[in-house]
Amino acid sequence: MAKIGDLLRIGRTFSFEFFPPRTDDAQLTLGRTIAELEPLRPAFVSVTYGAGGSTRARTRDVVTWVRRETNITPMAHLTCQGHTRTEITEILDHYRDADVHNIMALGGDLPSDPADIRPSDYTYASELVAEVNGYGYFSVGVAAHPEGHPRSPDRATDRRRLADKLRHADFAITQFFFEASHYVRLVDELMALGVDKPVLPGIMPVTNKGQIVRMAEMSGTALPSWLVERLNGTDDPHEIRKIGVDVATTLCEDLLAAGAPGLHFYTLNRSTATREIYANLNLSSMH
């Protein structure tokens, strides 16, 4: 099974992200979505990780299932928040035994309920990157925030921290954003710090107005005024989804023209918007 770092050295990658389902019905929906997206031949798929612990086992189960039952390369998200070194060792041992070669090493957010906060032997994602690297087995990715991490005091500090992480990782994947200039600035600022590792832009097609507003607030992503105006011009769910696909298609075109090493789609466990963007870009013919 391929390592993502190796795939990026060969050429552009197109990939999808899922979240672990919380119910059996949601599990079936995700299974259908993966089946619908597999013909697009993604370079890899990633599975997110629950901060509060409720979906952590499901992340492992989904990643292991993808590795065993499909031809897709999976990447498991892993957070240092709420983990002891012993727990991280057990998780990494499991993935190594399951022939999973890719880990997304993240800091993670504190659970919203204080009762769910668990002991942690790690403070920063960089510590988890070092732990995973110690295995000499995994390709390691880290998160990047084109508009700056919401907890960073300023963009310059954010870039220095990201550059430090990337020096020890193989690649980064960004939080979603809506204007290519944010991505170009991020890459240029990393280059100025001497870091040229691949940075994959994360693409979130708007499919629900209220949902994207909430997610943007949580992630520190700005909703541009031109996008807000377009979305506020209609309450028709079909029209909103069409706007979202059109906006994402244009963003992808701009990013590929700017030299992005690939595209990473946040699917929200649905395939339709991603498949439409793929068709608009004619991506199936590009790999």
- Among the options 17, 147, 189, 276, which is catalytic? 17
Helices 24-37 & 272-281, crossing angle to 10 degrees? 10
Q: What pLDDT is stored for residue 57 in this prediction?
A: 84
Higher pLDDT, 107 or 201: 201
Q: At 78, is the pLDDT very low, low, confident or very high (cuts 50, 70, 90)?
A: very high
**pLDDT tens for residues 24-49?**
899 899 999 999 999 999 999 999 98
Q: Is the dihedral of CA 58, 63, 64, 66 positive or negative?
A: positive
Residue ranges and CATH numbers for the domains of the chain are 4-285 (3.20.20.220)
Cα–Cα distances (Å) from 239 to 15, 19, 51, 132, 181, in that order, read: 26, 25, 33, 44, 26
Higher pLDDT, 42 or 287: 42
Name the 3-class secondary structure at 27.
Answer: helix
**pLDDT tens for residues 97-113?**
999 999 999 987 655 55
270, burial (CB in 10 Å: exposed 0-12, middle 13-18, buried 19+): middle
**pLDDT tens for residues 205-263?**
999 988 898 888 888 888 999 999 999 999 999 999 999 999 999 999 999 999 999 99
Q: Is 17 a catalytic residue?
A: yes
